[in-house]
Every structure is written in structure tokens, then in C-alpha cells.
Structure 1
Amino acid sequence: MGLRYYSAMTQVIIVGFVCFLCPGMFNALNGTGGGGQLNPTTGNNANTALYSTFVVFGVLGGAIVNLCGVRWTIFGSGFTYALYSGSYIYLNHTGNGAFTIAAGAILGVGAGILWAAQGMIMVSYPREEEKGRYIAIFWVIFNLGGMLGGILPFAINYNSDSGSLSDGVYIAFVVLECIGAFLGLALAPPAKVTRDDGSSVVLVKYTNLGTETIEILKLFINPLMLGLLPMCFTSNFFYTYQFDNINGALFNVRTRGFNNIFYWGFQMVGSYAISFLLDYSKLGRKKRGYISFVIVFVVFNAIWGGSLALHNKYPGGLLVDDRIDFKDTKRASGPIILYIFCGIGDALYQTFAYWIIGALSNDNQLLARYIGFYKGMQSFGAAIAWQLDAKSVAPKNQLVANWVLFAISVPPMLYVVWRIKEHSEPIGPKENSSEHYEEKGGEHITA
């Protein structure tokens, strides 16, 4: 069946390209270590500010999206990414990090809202039996942004390895992120979107500020959300160690871009591979969850074991004039392979987390809140991780913290998988519903 504009798949593809151009570029910038700067302190402090506001607006994001609709929230949020990337041009010329840190805080607001909208679309639009595939398709498109963002610094800095990214790289990021913001307006109103079986994606049709406030507060006493909390907290905590203490600490700037091409490229492979298991209809949904959990468990323990071996080889990182270049294959091959596996592990972890959340309900407004909770708690962990690095906590201690946090997340993660049912309710729009819409700004939202 060909793609229709109002089909669920088309909408997931569009939001995938929005994230390709906005968060994808941000990930590429972060992946270079320290926002592409030789000294990572400003980048670390900006990330701390970013994830501190992301905590609040991640949790509130689902309510904001439910009240305001997906198109305008994504449109406005996209420009916060451009502001952040542009702030590094100012930093390059003045050495003053205050603007970059403030831009990070503003980005946290936009990112929290954008990811709540994106997550709601990705996990509530598909049918139950195809949620893994939709998540993987989004993840593939999204991580194309990280790949492109890796190519830019690799190509532009190929013959001029100054240690920090040039203005031209940051300008390219700003232009792409502005395009991504405008692309958000191409999304269809959710009330008009239908699945291939003809069912509407809009399952809950009434909300208001009071309802959203109560429902957000209830998330913090929901046993399933509390079970997911350690997994949420851990799910971005490891980025700091991987980006700053592997890629940023060991490699020169062009090789960091080179590495990110493969880090984000193999994210696509990891997500797409596990999607076949997550949607494998011959196994029960709970059994698929258990097997996927085992895969994530094994892969992450292998990553942290490999990271420990690498840390023992380079306990203090490398001196600036001794950083590894990708052409030095004898020194580069092992750390680069480990960094690639870090990307695969991230994709497995995030895809599995989104699938678990999507398996808890088919209610698009409830899932918007669940995703907001996930992103908010995820950002809480990330804010702490970036500040630990900004305070120069020893890389080995950061590695131990990552491994311990992953171990703590395992039992409650299993509990939530155990609570998954074969089918979530509701599975389609109610007949003869007396609920209603009010038109506002071209989207069906509630009065």
C-alpha cells in the first residue's frame, strides 16, 4: 500500500525527519565531545542547564502537547535547537560561555515538548503488532541526522584540525535545524490521521488544564512509571561518559566526526534489528519483552566491560598533541569498535524502552504523558551526568556509576515487562462516542 499523507506511517516519517534535522544535529554536536570545543567545560555546563529544564518540561511536555497540539509545539521547539547551535559561534569568537549555557536552558524547554510530541506520534499511531517497526523506522531516519552531523565536522575539519569546530560547521547545524522547525508544520492534525486498517489514531477526545495537571501528578504514584524510573534515569546518563571520555578524550576532532558517522549509523542497525523481535507475532508480547531484555542486558554488560578495559589502557585520556587519528589504525581500531558498540547498545536500549511504553496503552493522550515522564526522568539523569563531568569526576568513577545504575534498573525493568499484557486498551475508537472536539489553529484539540 502506498503512503498516504494522512496515514500513520507518513506522519511517523515526517516527525522522523524533523528529529533528523533538530535533535539529530544536536546529537552530532554533542557526540564530538564538549559541543565540538577543545575545552568541554562550557559544553558540559550547557548540557547541565539543558537537562535541568528538560526534567521539568519533559514531564510537562505531554500535557502541553495534549493541550496545544503537535504541529505548533514541534515548530516552536525546533528553533531552540538552532539557537543552541548558533550560540557556539559566539563562544568561538568571545570565549564567553554564558550565552551557550543560557541557550542550553532554553533548549531544555523546547526539547522536552518536542520529544513528548514525537513520542506520542511514534508509539500511539501504529497498531499494536507494528509498534516495533514504527519505532525502528523513526530511529533510522532520526539517526541519519547524527550521521550527517558526523560527516560535517569530519569533512570541514579534515585538513585543519584546530581542536574546536569551525564557524562553518555551526552555521550548517543552524540552517538544518531551522529547516527542521518549519517541517513540523507539515504534520497533519492527529484527528485526521488513520491507520491502514481505517481506525483513527485519536482515542481520547477530551482534556483540559485541570485534567492534565491531575494526570501528570498521578504518574508519580503509578507503579508502572515508578518501575520504569530507574530505566528512564539511566537511559541518557551514559552519553556523557561515551561522548566526553571516549570520543572526546581519545580522538582528534576530525576523527570524532568520523566516529560519529558509525556511532549513529550503527544505531540504525541496532534499532531495526531488534524491531523484528519486538513485532514477532509467533511469540507472545511478554515473551518478546523478556528476550529483548536479555539482549539489552548482555550487550550493555559487554560495553561496560570493554569500557573498563579501555579505561585501564588510557586511565587519564590522552594529551592534546597525542590524540588518536583514524588513520592510525593500530591505536584507533579498538576504541572505535567499542564506540560503535556503544551506539548499538543505545539503540537497543531506547527502542526497547519506547516499545515497553507503547505496550502499556494505545491511548494517545496517556502515552503522551508516559513519554513525557520518560523524557523528564531521562533528562534528570543526564543533567547529573553532565555536571559530574563538568566537575572533573574521574572517568573511571563515571564508568562505575553507569554500570551500577544499569544494574539497579534491571529488577524494576523486569517488573514492568512482567506487567505487559497481550493487548492494551483501548484498541480502537469507541463507537457512538459522545465526546467532542473543538477546532483551534487547524488541529482538533479539546475544549
Structure 2
Amino acid sequence: MSHLDAAPPNTHAGGNDDALETKGANPMVAPYHSGDVTDERIDMTAYENSVPRWKRIYQNSFTQMVLLSIQAFCGPAMADAIAGLGGGGLATPQTSNIAVAINYAMLALVCLCGGPIVNKLGTKWALVIGAMSFPIRGSSYYVNSKFGVQWYLILGGFFTGIGSGAWYVAESGSIMSLAPSGSRGKYLAFWIVARNLGQLVGGAINLSKNHKKGAVGGVSPDTYVAFLIIECMALPFAFLISPLDRVVRSDGTRILMSEKLSTKQEFKRIRFTMTSKLIVLSALWAIWSFFYSGTWSTYLGTYFSVRARALSSLISPFFCIVGCFGLGFILDMKNMSQRRRAQIGLFTVVILNLGVYIWSIVMQVRFNEHKPGKIDWDDSLYAKSFLPYFFVQTTGPLSQSYMYWLLSSFATDAQSNVRNGAAFRCLEAVGQAISYGMNTQIKTSPLIGFCVTFGLMGAALYPMLVLVNQTPDRIPADVIAEEQEAAEGKGVGRTVVDADTKGA
């Protein structure tokens, strides 16, 4: 960790602990003091005797992850389901690609400044703002499909990008902070699965409304009404989110919080975070990780019938659920060091994506030679032309889940997780904006998009190898806490040992 300036100052990983403290002190907490540092741990017996059961359940880290996942189900998952229709389900993908490109451009801008914004607002209110913007997407697609009003679709992309940016930054910081050290892979898998369950529901809606053979053009406008209703449901769950300083993890630990900084200081941290080795080395990976979405949306809209596109949005998430829990199992294995798990996880993700990209490029070359027309699900060509799309809906999310796990291996408090998550999400959004913008100009063949995506993965691999090979064998916060306790010669409360790294 000493080789990476990954975490900002005032965090354990940053090496300046003078301001580090745990907010929201609780009489049931047994604090450990080392100089000006307070590392608080819950006395679980006293906590259970003094705090009502409903409140313990509400403040539990898994409950908070469930509330976040429900919002992901209602918001980003519905957006993914619309994207899964190919070109947003519209008759031609170009207008949708323009709107989505604008959406991600604004999302990238908000994410760039998102760390300071979310750390000042708090995760709860950033999530509320984001949840309020979700219904704009469904309503804009409905208005465009029903009345042909394209300006609202594009304007909606602008405002949804702003709201979603705030939501994504708060979400990324939360999902990297909530999980107990030995369960980060499983927590991230649960979050990804919730998003894919949302796509399953969205896919069922798509298919129920657009299952008739021979339909041409865009999907039924009623499809978007169902999405709009689900998107509206995210807001009440955003209000239920607990501030991170009140959350108690399932293993009895609390989330470390640095002292609050001024707005000027927070914005100064943007430069520090964006130029840290952690973000610089992962930048190309971040740009690549979602780059595939624009090209695959165009591919689906160009070559598949309405009902085949509807079916794709239903069945595409199935394998992702299995894959994400499989990766989570690898990343949480207790008989290997954290670095070794990071290396195995990286090669797993890369090899799976490599196979999908080779397959997709081969299929697209064949399509360029022999135009297939609109492929329906009962055509002989359907299986081999659809399966690359089916698998990329698993390998793509795996790359994102893996990266959030890796980021959380370096940062040690909620604020630095927010900053690092915001920086990574900003770069992801830049990649998505470029991808969809590029595909607005691709009228006949997504081959260029496939090749660019493949090339980006190759370019991202070496910096990621450098980063992964410098992954600490244990989470730095746990090591430092143990060293401080040993130096003081006392261990008040619970000593937290990283269950991830036993046997490292």
C-alpha cells in the first residue's frame, strides 16, 4: 500500500490519521484510543440489550444493502431493461443513442464533482435526489414513442444524467463501505443480482407487451408506462437509508468516518483522487468496463425483431446472477491472500470477456458479408447471433463488480470510498458517453464499436496488472488497527481481524 497514494489524507491508507474518528458515538461502543485516533467497535451484548430489535435490523449493514439494491432495481435496472430493447426500444436507435450519450456526459460531469457533493449532502440525500430523477427516463421514452417528441427524450437524458450522477456516487461509496471485510464479494454480488432481477422484471414487461410475431418499428408505448411506475418506487426507499455513521456491520464493526472537511477542501481532494495511482492505473479499465453497452444496444436494435429484442431483455440477466455469485465466492475465499484473489479475479474477468469479443467480431464480419435482416427468435440464426449478447450481459457486470471490490481493498473510510467510487464512475460514464456518441454515427455496422471495445480491454490490461500486483495482502485499516493496539498494549472491545486474510 505504501507504493500507492490511493486514499486521500485523513484516512488510514493516506497515512495521516490525525483527523480520523468514528462519528455517531454510541454508549454501547467500546472505543480504542491511540493518540487522536478513535477506532470504535460495538459491544454486541450491550448493543442487543440496549437497542430495540427493529432499530438493530434497520441499522444493520445488510438491511442497508437491501435498501440500496431495491433502488438499483427500480432505477438503473429499469434503465438497463430499456437499453436491453436495443436503441431504447425505438424504431431507430439513433435518437436514443444521442439521448443516452448526453445522459452519460452529464453523469460523468456530476461524478467528477460528486465526491465533495455527496460528502457534504450525505449519502441519504444524494440518493433521494437521484431517485427523484429516475422517472424522467421512462416518461421521456413514453412521450417519444407515443407522440414522437424527441426533444423531451434528449432533455430528459440531460436531467437524468445529473440526478443519476448524484445517486451513483452515493451508491458506490455505500456499497464499498457497508460490507464486513470477509463478505465484500458476496455483498457486491447481491447488489449486481438485484440490478439483474430488475432487468428480469423489465424483460417480462417487454415480452408481455411485444410478443406478437411480425411487429415492426418500436415497442409498444405501454411498455414504458410499466417502467415509469417501477422507477417512481425508488424514492420512498431512498428516504429509508440510514446515514453511514449509524450503520452497524453484520460482524459488529462500524464504518470509519473522517472529520468533515470544508467545501473548498473537498474540491481540492478531486485533484488528489483523480491523480492517485489507484485511479490512474484503473482509468482505462473504467472507460472500458461499460463501453460495450452502446455498441451492443445498436447491434440488438439493428439486427433483431421487436419481440426478439423483448425476449433478450428477459433472458439476458439469468446467467449474470450465477456468474456474479461465482466471482463473489472467489473474491471472498479465506485460504488465499487478498492479492492472490485479486489476481485470480482479474484473469477470470479478462478471459471470459476475451471469448465474448472474439465471438461477437466473427458474427459481425459475417453480417457485413451477408445481411441477415431482422432476426426473430424462431429463426435458425437466432441462437448463435444472440448468445454473444447473452454472455456479455454477464461478463460486463463482472468487470464492474470486480473493480469495486478492488477499490475497496485500498480505501479505509466512507469518505475516501465515495471519492474513489465517484472518480471510477466518472470514467465509466465517459466511456459510455463516447460509446453511445460513436454509435450515433454507425448506421450500418457495429463492427467498429466491437473492435474499439476489444482494443480498450487490451490497453487496460497492463495497468490493471500493475495495480493488482500491488494490492495489499490485507486491508490496510485492519493491519494498522492491530499495530496500534499492540503498541498500546491493550485491546479494548472487539479486535477486528480481516476474515478475508486468515491464512494469508
| Global fold match (TM > 0.5) | yes
Map 1:21-100 to 2 at 5 A: 21-100=74-153
Percent identity of equivalent pairs: 23
Can you list the C-alpha shifts for 1:271-303, whole angstroms capped at 9, x where unaligned?
111000001010111111111111112111101
- Measured in 2, the distance between the counterparts of 1:147 and 1:131 equals 24
Compare CA radii of gyration and give the structure with the larger one.
2
Q: Secondary structure at the match of 1:4?
A: helix
The alpha-carbon deviation at position 354 of structure 1 amounts to 0.9
1:195 paired with 2:245, answer no
TM normalised by structure 2 equals 0.81
Native 8 Å contact 1:203 1:426 kept in 2: no
Q: Which moved more, 1:176-185 or 1:254-263?
A: 254-263
The alpha-carbon deviation at position 396 of structure 1 amounts to 1.4
Q: Tell me the equivalent position of 1:273.
A: 326
Q: Tell me the equivalent position of 1:412.
A: 463
Q: Tell me the equivalent position of 1:377.
A: 427
- Measured in 2, the distance between the counterparts of 1:147 and 1:317 equals 32
- Measured in 2, the distance between the counterparts of 1:83 and 1:110 equals 10
- Measured in 2, the distance between the counterparts of 1:238 and 1:92 equals 25
Q: Tell me the equivalent position of 2:218.
A: 164
Question: Considering only aligned residues, what root-mean-square deviation do their CA atoms show, in Å?
Answer: 2.0
Native 8 Å contact 1:155 1:254 kept in 2: no
Aligned residue pairs total 427
Q: 1:268 to 1:92 in 2, by over 3 A?
A: same
Residue from 234, 245, 256 that aligns with 1:180:
234
Can you list the C-alpha shifts for 1:224-269, whole angstroms capped at 9, x where unaligned?
1100100011111111111211x22221112112112222222222
Native 8 Å contact 1:268 1:347 kept in 2: no
Q: Secondary structure at the match of 1:122?
A: helix
Residue from 206, 213, 227 that aligns with 2:260:
206
AA aligned to 2:452 is A
Native 8 Å contact 1:125 1:195 kept in 2: yes
AA aligned to 1:91 is N
Residue from 169, 179, 195 that aligns with 1:142:
195
The alpha-carbon deviation at position 149 of structure 1 amounts to 1.1
The alpha-carbon deviation at position 153 of structure 1 amounts to 1.1
AA aligned to 1:279 is D
Q: Tell me the equivalent position of 2:378.
A: 327
Residue from 417, 422, 427 that aligns with 1:367:
417
Residue from 395, 398, 414 that aligns with 2:449:
398
- Measured in 1, the distance between the counterparts of 2:261 and 2:323 equals 37
The alpha-carbon deviation at position 89 of structure 1 amounts to 2.0
Q: 1:101 to 1:316 in 2, by over 3 A?
A: farther
- Measured in 1, the distance between the counterparts of 2:164 and 2:224 equals 19
Q: Which moved more, 1:336-345 or 1:296-305?
A: 336-345
Q: Which moved more, 1:124-133 or 1:277-286?
A: 124-133
The alpha-carbon deviation at position 181 of structure 1 amounts to 2.0
AA aligned to 1:209 is T
Can you list the C-alpha shifts for 1:178-215, whole angstroms capped at 9, x where unaligned?
11122111111222111123221243232221221011
Q: Secondary structure at the match of 2:473?
A: coil
Map 1:124-135 to 2 at 5 A: 124-135=177-188
- Measured in 2, the distance between the counterparts of 1:79 and 1:310 equals 40
Q: Secondary structure at the match of 1:275?
A: helix
- Measured in 2, the distance between the counterparts of 1:318 and 1:83 equals 36
Native 8 Å contact 2:245 2:257 kept in 1: no
The alpha-carbon deviation at position 375 of structure 1 amounts to 0.8
- Measured in 1, the distance between the counterparts of 2:67 and 2:357 equals 35
Can you list the C-alpha shifts for 1:354-375, whole angstroms capped at 9, x where unaligned?
1111111221100101111111
Q: Secondary structure at the match of 1:297?
A: helix
- Measured in 1, the distance between the counterparts of 2:79 and 2:369 equals 27
Q: Tell me the equivalent position of 1:236.
A: 290
Map 1:235-384 to 2 at 5 A: 235-245=289-299, 247-315=300-368, 322-328=373-379, 330-384=380-434
1:110 paired with 2:163, answer yes
- Measured in 2, the distance between the counterparts of 1:96 and 1:189 equals 40
Q: Secondary structure at the match of 2:258?
A: coil
Q: Tell me the equivalent position of 1:439.
A: none
Can you list the C-alpha shifts for 1:399-440, whole angstroms capped at 9, x where unaligned?
111111110000111111112112334347999xxxxxxxxx
The alpha-carbon deviation at position 317 of structure 1 amounts to 8.5
- Measured in 2, the distance between the counterparts of 1:243 and 1:48 equals 12
AA aligned to 1:102 is L
Structure 2: runs of 5+ lacking an equivalent: 1-43, 45-52, 486-504
Native 8 Å contact 1:48 1:383 kept in 2: yes
- Measured in 1, the distance between the counterparts of 2:255 and 2:386 equals 42
Q: Secondary structure at the match of 1:369?
A: helix
Native 8 Å contact 1:50 1:106 kept in 2: yes
Q: Secondary structure at the match of 2:261?
A: coil
Q: Which moved more, 1:16-25 or 1:186-195?
A: 186-195
The alpha-carbon deviation at position 316 of structure 1 amounts to 7.3
The alpha-carbon deviation at position 92 of structure 1 amounts to 2.0
